[in-house]
Structure 1
Amino acid sequence: MNDITALMATVKAAAEKATPGRIGDRIDGSGSIKYECRGDDGSLVLRTDHKNMEYGFVGDNGTADEQFFRVCVPDNILALVEALEKAKKLATQQGNIACALFDEVTAQRLRIAELEGAEQKLCAANVTLDARAELAERRLAALTAPQPPDVGEHFQRGYDEGHSRGLACGKLYKADDQMRQHRAECVKAYRAEITGGEID
């Protein structure tokens, strides 16, 4: 048989039907029985009895035992052993490949986790940089934007110009200290008016 699958099936079927176990030995002495083989349960499998012309598989399960004997020729047994050895070698190779693949997958997963962690840190850094850039842009815009004139200073300047004209006309009679106090109070009141009542 060249088909190892069919051979395995044949040997298995024959073994399942044959008498379990083999206990046999050559019998020495003057008796006619020269050889006898029994199963594990003591049932007769094979006997050689020259006197009574009884030989071969003469037990109750003789047909199945003989079939098993005929199937178990050396070529078949060697073919089964070779198939088992090849299967074992292939299983070992596949096991080694599986282990190598597992190690590679584990390394890739660790690398992916490392890259994901780096990506998260980079995203956080980008958010921080964006916020800082936005703040810098606002500060720059505030620095470069034209500043509105100080209304209090503008009012004070107008007050001083009016006072100067009053002095030139001889109509102002307040002393300098009184004039400065009056000017400060006017500026403060004006600022409070344009800020809705808030006085610095």
Structure 2
Amino acid sequence: MIDLPPSIGFQPSYPQLTIPTSQTKYGGRTISTVEYADSYRTVDMETVPLTAGQAVQLQSFIAAAKGGAETIIYRPTHICIPQAYWGDADNPHINGTATRGAVTGGYMVQLNNVVPGLLLKPGDLFSLQSVDYRQMLQVVIGGVAASTTLTVKVDQPISSYVGAGATVRFKRPEMNTRLVKDSFQMASGHFPTASFQLIEVPR
């Protein structure tokens, strides 16, 4: 596994959820929709203008990604903590050691060992990690922890590979990704920009 190069500045990015579905239509109207595969996220990465040194460092990183054969740990840098704590990244509510508890209906997840008073709002991101497996989730229905547990609804089913007891990250959540083949492009000139796409994988 490799990390995004810390010396490279990136434009704000928003992980996008893809839900593979097929639709049956009759007379121009949709009559049924079926989800036929697991959902996943993609991230469109774009750099800020690069110096010559940064450009060659980025080329080295892309080579290390091996055309998608190597796992890249993605961490958002733009919106990297829950909304209630913007401007307060060291707040103890998001720096604890919460764990994944019970899951109901695939989407309702109980978070254990949270700091009482933790507030999660719709749109907040957090991640689950079990050994080298990671999953990034976005809150759909949030809440406030009245005790050391909090149950929220998320945007996709909780994966089996991040089972009960998985570590919860509220600050700089993590997602395992791979480089999408042939997605890397770099402009010419003295201060080029570059772009590439990442796609979520279990590990």
Please classify the TM superposition score into its range, dividing by the shorter chain length.
under 0.3
Greater relative CO, 1 or 2 (CA 8 Å, sep 6+): 2
More helix by share: 1
What TM-score results when the alignment is normalised by the length of structure 1? 0.19
What TM-score results when the alignment is normalised by the length of structure 2? 0.19
